Structure 1
Amino acid sequence: MVSKQEVRPDVKVRTLPMQVASHLVRRIAAGELTDEHVPSELDITQQFGVSRVVARETLKILSSLDIVHIAQGRRLVLRPAEEWDYLSPQLLEWLPEDQVTALLREFQETRLLLEPELAARAATMISKSSLRRLNELVDRMLDLENSPEDYLEVDHAFHMEICRASQNRILDRIMYAARWLLATSRRVTNEEPHGLAAATAIHREILEAIESADAERARQVMHKHMELNIQILGKPKRTGRVRRRPARP
C-alpha cells in the first residue's frame, strides 16, 4: 500500500485511489512503465494491497487524465504523452519538476499567441464597466504587492476581464481552464526581485493602452509582458520546488 510519506506534505490527498494514482502517474511520467508494464486492475490490487474497488477507481482517475485508455476486455493502453490533460490541476501536481517547468514555458508561449490579440481587441471593444473593473483591479494589485497569493487572483481576474471584452465564449473558457497554469507560472515569476511591483507596472501600461483605444499599443505591451515571463521561466533552475498549489477557482 502507498504510504502517507509518499504523498507531498502540502497536498491533501483524501482518497486511497488518489494516492495510488499519484504514484502511478509519477512512474509513467518518468518512463518507468510502458504499455507492456502498465498494471491492470488485478495488478494494482496485488502491488498496492488495495481492494478491486480502489483499483477500479484508480484506473478511472488515470483515464480521466487521458493517460491511459481502457480498451476492450479492460486491457490498459498508455496514451501518448502529448494527449494528456495538461489543463488538469491534478496532473500538474503529480508531474515531475522538469516536466512542469517545460509546461510553464509552453503555456507562456501559448499566451504569447493569444493575449496580445485579445488586448488589441479589448482596446476597440471594451465597455465602460469593464474599463472600470480593470482600473479597480490594477489599484488592487498595488495594494497586494506584499500578498503574493491574493495577488494571483487579481492578476487572473485582470486577464479574464480583457479576454471577456473580446466577446468570445470559447476563448473565455480556454483562459479559465488554464488558470492553474497561470497561477503556477506567476508563482515562479513572482520570485524575481521586485516581481510584483514590475507586474503591476506592466498591467497598468496595458490598461492605459486599452483606455486610449490604442489597439497596436495594447498588442505591443501585452506582447512585452508575455515575453518577459518567458525569459524569467527560461532562467537557470532556482533552488527549491515550483509551488503548484492550485489557485482558488
Structure 2
Amino acid sequence: MIAENGIGVGDRLPPETELAKALGVGRSTVREALQAWQSLGIVTRNKGAGTVLRAPITTSSLHLPIAITLEAQSLQRMLEVRRPLEADAVRLATLRATDRQRHEIMTSCYKLMDIWRSGQDWRQADHAFHATIHEATGNPLYKQLVDQLQGAFHSVYEAPLGEPMLGTDTIPLHIEMAEAICAGDADRAAELMHKITDLTGRDVEKIIGDGADA
C-alpha cells in the first residue's frame, strides 16, 4: 500500500483508522504493525507529527519480496549500531575483567562451542556468552542497550531472512575472542568482534543477493 501510493521517506502515513479500513484489518492490528516498524526504525511516531516513514519501501525488485527487504534493512541497521557497542564492550571487558569473570567468559564460550558442534540451537548460549562479556565491562548499559536492540528485532522476526541461526559461521571466532579477552589482548579481542559482526552482515547481503538472482 505504501509503495502503490507513492509514500516516500519523510512522508506521513494515513491515520490508523484509514489504514485499517484500506487494508481490511482491525485498528489494533495496524497499531501493532506500526509499533513493530517503529522499534526497527522504519517509521517514527508521535502525536504531533503522526506516523512518518523513515526507511524506503519499494516494489522495484520483482524477485525479492518486500518483507525480506525490510528484514534485511532492519537487521543491517541493528548490526550497524551493535558493531561499535560490542567492540567497545569487548575492549573494556578485556581491561577490567576479574579472574572470576574471565573464568565465566571461557566457561560460557566452551558451552556455546559444544552446543554449536552438536548441531543444536546455539542462540541462547551465544546470548549468555555475550552477557558474561557485558558484565565484565562493569557498565550495565552495554547489556541493556544490546538487549534492547536484539529484543526489538527478534520480537518481529523469529527467523530473520528465513535463517533462524543466521551467523552460525561466526561461532568459531568466539573461542578466539574469549581467549584474547582472557589473555589481556584488547586490540585482538575487538578486532575479532568486528569480524563477527561483519561476517553476519555479509551473510545478510548474500541472502539478499541469492534472493534477487532466484
TM-score with structure 2 setting the length: 0.68
RMSD after superposition: 3.4
Are 1:121 and 2:97 counterparts?
Answer: no
CA gap of 1:36–1:161, structure 2 versus 1, over 3 A, is: closer
The correspondence of residues 62-211 of structure 1 with structure 2, limited to 5 A, is: 64-65=35-36, 66=38, 67=43, 69=45, 71=47, 77-81=50-54, 96-145=67-116, 146-149=118-121, 151-180=122-151, 181=153, 184=160, 187-190=165-168, 195=169, 199-211=170-182
Residue 167 of structure 1: SS of its match in structure 2?
A: coil
- The residue aligned with 2:17 is 41
- The residue aligned with 2:60 is none
Kept in 1: contact 2:166–2:200 (CA 8 A): no
1:225 shift after superposition: 2.2
Q: How many residues align?
A: 185
- The residue aligned with 1:220 is 191
1:202 shift after superposition: 0.9
- The residue aligned with 1:11 is none
Residue 78 of structure 2: SS of its match in structure 1?
A: helix
Give the gaps of 5 or more residues in structure 1. 1-26, 83-94, 241-249
Output one character per residue of 1:219-240: Cα deviation in whole Å (capped at 9) or x when no partner.
Answer: 2222222222223322253459
1:175 shift after superposition: 0.5
Are 1:237 and 2:213 counterparts?
Answer: no
Equivalent residue letter for 1:187: M
Kept in 2: contact 1:156–1:179 (CA 8 A): no
Kept in 2: contact 1:123–1:214 (CA 8 A): yes
Output one character per residue of 1:194-216: Cα deviation in whole Å (capped at 9) or x when no partner.
Answer: x2xxx332111111111111212
Equivalent residue letter for 1:77: G
Q: C-alpha distance in 1, partners of 2:75/2:137?
A: 25
- The residue aligned with 1:4 is none
1:169 shift after superposition: 2.5
1:171 shift after superposition: 2.2
1:60 shift after superposition: 4.2
Kept in 2: contact 1:189–1:229 (CA 8 A): yes
Q: C-alpha distance in 2, partners of 1:174/1:216?
A: 22
CA gap of 1:155–1:42, structure 2 versus 1, over 3 A, is: closer
Equivalent residue letter for 1:44: A
Relative contact order (C-alpha < 8 Å, sep 6+): which is higher? 2
1:115 shift after superposition: 1.6
Output one character per residue of 1:174-198: Cα deviation in whole Å (capped at 9) or x when no partner.
Answer: 11112244874872333xxxx2xxx
1:157 shift after superposition: 1.5
Residue 184 of structure 2: SS of its match in structure 1?
A: coil
Residue 78 of structure 1: SS of its match in structure 2?
A: strand
| Rg comparison, structure with higher value | 1
Output one character per residue of 1:146-176: Cα deviation in whole Å (capped at 9) or x when no partner.
Answer: 4442x01111121222122222232221111
Residue 234 of structure 1: SS of its match in structure 2?
A: helix
